Structure 1
């Protein structure tokens, strides 16, 4: 089964990069500098920031469904990134992490979930999409629990 993984669109976040630290704080956001490799995953490009690169850390509502599963969590975004949008490709950022994958129906209700090493994500996507009631998947980085990407049938 073909699948499509997408990062977040860059446009809604563009204005954040021009804000002062005080203005970011008013929005419960902050500028951070990556201080080690593979520790600051950009949710737009689905790539990891290199040490020394600047990112914005903010709270993002990744599950806006009008259901008990409505949710938000902290994410990192990096300026100048292009939205990841690929079919049948798992980005390296996800391949190197332990992932929690959650399957939701069209009403935003959780229908199935599992945890998997990123290198084994594709078979889990196929298994979850065998359930016709699952409309989309959300991938989270399992240990911190933060949202990583969306998966849909291609």
Structure 2
């Protein structure tokens, strides 16, 4: 069994209510959703017309060659969603994914691409390897980080 984790709303709360100019000074772009902007905090697509932030985020801070940061979307005022163990939110399940397995030293030890609706099988396959410590899901087409996956607590 696995658990998908949102990014913390607290990490982005300081952006809420800022003007477009103040956000631009922080290298944050403001977009108005067309219904297809996946928020990494709510783990849902922002509704059409909703204000979303596009910013650079370090999703892989491990001190290895795999250290990485990339663009992510966060809804203004986003509230964390905590999906049930073993479930994949529709904003992730509806997209092509790059699934990357890491060991405890933050080295990538396996990776593959799958349709999000079939990601559960690949996640389970990766976690069958005891060397896999955690998994990162990325939206394959743009390469953006989607969510971290861990083994669910027993």
1:55 paired with 2:66, answer: no
1:15 paired with 2:14, answer: yes
**Whole-angstrom CA distance in 1 between matches of 2:56 and 2:82:** 22
1:131 paired with 2:129, answer: yes
Find runs of 4+ consecutive structure 1 residues off by over 4 angstroms: none
Unaligned runs of 5+ in 2: none
**Whole-angstrom CA distance in 1 between matches of 2:150 and 2:27:** 30
**Whole-angstrom CA distance in 1 between matches of 2:68 and 2:96:** 20
Give yes or no for contact 1:5–1:150 (8 Å, CA) kept in 2.
Answer: yes
Give yes or no for contact 2:15–2:76 (8 Å, CA) kept in 1.
Answer: no
**Whole-angstrom CA distance in 1 between matches of 2:16 and 2:129:** 40
**Whole-angstrom CA distance in 2 between matches of 1:58 and 1:4:** 25
Equivalent residue for 2:76, pick from 75, 79, 89: 79
Give yes or no for contact 1:41–1:76 (8 Å, CA) kept in 2.
Answer: yes
**Whole-angstrom CA distance in 1 between matches of 2:42 and 2:117:** 18
Residue 49 of structure 1, CA deviation: 1.1
**Whole-angstrom CA distance in 1 between matches of 2:150 and 2:81:** 13
Number of matched pairs: 151
Residue 23 of structure 1, CA deviation: 2.1
Q: TM-score, normalised by structure 1?
A: 0.94
Q: TM-score, normalised by structure 2?
A: 0.94
Q: CA RMSD in A?
A: 1.0
**Whole-angstrom CA distance in 1 between matches of 2:53 and 2:40:** 11
Give yes or no for contact 1:6–1:83 (8 Å, CA) kept in 2.
Answer: no
Q: Quote the residue 2:4 is aligned against.
A: 5
Give SS of 2:45's match. coil
**Whole-angstrom CA distance in 1 between matches of 2:32 and 2:24:** 16
Q: Quote the residue 1:99 is aligned against.
A: 97
